Copies of this chain bind each other. A is one copy, B any other.
Amino acid sequence: MEYVTARYIGKKPKLKNPLLIEGLPGIGNVGKLAVEHLIDSINAVKFAELHCKDFPPQVFINTDGTIKLVNNEFYYWKAKKKNQRDLILLTGDYQGLSSQGQYELVEKILDISEELGAKEMFTLGGYGLGHEIDKPEVLCATTDKSLVKKMKKHGAVFKKNEPGGGIVGASGLLLGLGKLRGFNGICFMGETPGYLVDPKSAKAVLKILIKITNIDINLSALEKKAREIENIAHQLQEMEAMSSKDKSDELKYIG
């Protein structure tokens, strides 16, 4: 087994000028939620798995009692209409744990995407604000200046010097190493508090993707999940408020 190993399921798909869309775990799990939802919604087909020696040495346990080695997974989808494009979709359980692992993994993702004819990519992630946000905007960064204008038209936002620390992880590195190979790409970052998984932010990202890709994505499952998470968040806030009240009661009593 190489450092990163790709295993194809059946034949390699034949795709026409496909667009790579990546969403791996990260802040608020925004990118992973968005791509997983997209895969489910359009019935994309899994065609390859990546295993990497820099992933944790771990298996998950499925509900039927069988195990699943942690991995990254490639899916494809073929355009149904003239104004759509073939897609390669990437999601997974982990990003590489170390710098070297990240570089190796991203290089392999680019190898496979290039082999299937991709020269463009969207990478999806979250932009952690550290505070609650009502209507998350979607920040952007691109490999090429000409893409900035286009994306603004679709509602994506460019804020000067944000994110200040740049983009750390696969979403950034795919653009960075991809650019060196001649890929064009855009990273979409949904604003998120960053405390919990954030389907609301993922929805904001997908809404822009719908406009750009002309693909119908049913967002109802994501909206349902967003309401569930909001309920959990409210409960956590109430528990905290209760606990502060208890403490102030105690203080009065002591006083």
Query: Which A residues are closer than 8 A to B by beta carbons?
Result: 1, 3, 7, 51, 53-61, 63-70, 96-97, 99-104, 106-107, 140-145, 148, 158, 160-163, 165-170, 172-173, 175-177, 179-180, 187
- A107–B69 alpha-carbon span in the complex (Å): 14
B1 near A54 with CB under 8 A, answer: no
A105 to chain B, nearest CB (A): 9
A-B contact pairs, 19 of them (CB 8 A): A1-B103, A3-B100, A51-B180, A53-B104, A54-B99, A54-B100, A56-B99, A56-B168, A57-B103, A57-B168, A57-B170, A57-B173, A59-B173, A61-B163, A64-B145, A65-B140, A67-B142, A69-B173, A99-B101
Cα(A99)–Cα(B94), bound, Å: 13
Q: Are B66 and A141 in contact (CB under 8 A)?
A: yes
Extra 18 A-B pairs, beta carbons < 8 Å, given A67-B172, A69-B179: A7-B180, A51-B177, A53-B100, A54-B100, A56-B168, A57-B102, A57-B172, A57-B173, A58-B176, A59-B172, A61-B163, A61-B166, A64-B145, A65-B141, A69-B173, A69-B180, A70-B166, A99-B101
Judging by beta carbons under 8 Å apart, are A67 and B103 in contact?
Answer: no
**Cβ B148 vs Cβ A57 within 8 A:** no
Task: List, in ascending order, chain B residues with CB within 8 A of A55's CB.
Answer: 99
Quick check: A53 and B187 within 8 Å, CB to CB? no
Cβ contacts under 8 Å, A61 to chain B: 141, 161-163, 166-167
With a CB–CB cut-off of 8 A, which chain B residues contact A187?
67
List, in ascending order, chain B residues with CB within 8 A of A173's CB: 57-59, 69
| A224 CA to B170 CA, complexed, in Å | 38
CA distance A161 to B65 in the complex (A): 8
Closest CB-CB distance, A124 to chain B, in whole Å? 15
A65-B140, A67-B176, A145-B65 given; A106·B161 CB < 8 A? no
Residues from chain B with a CB closer than 8 A to the CB of A176 are 58-59, 67-70
Tell me the nearest residue of chain B to A64, going by C-beta.
Answer: B145
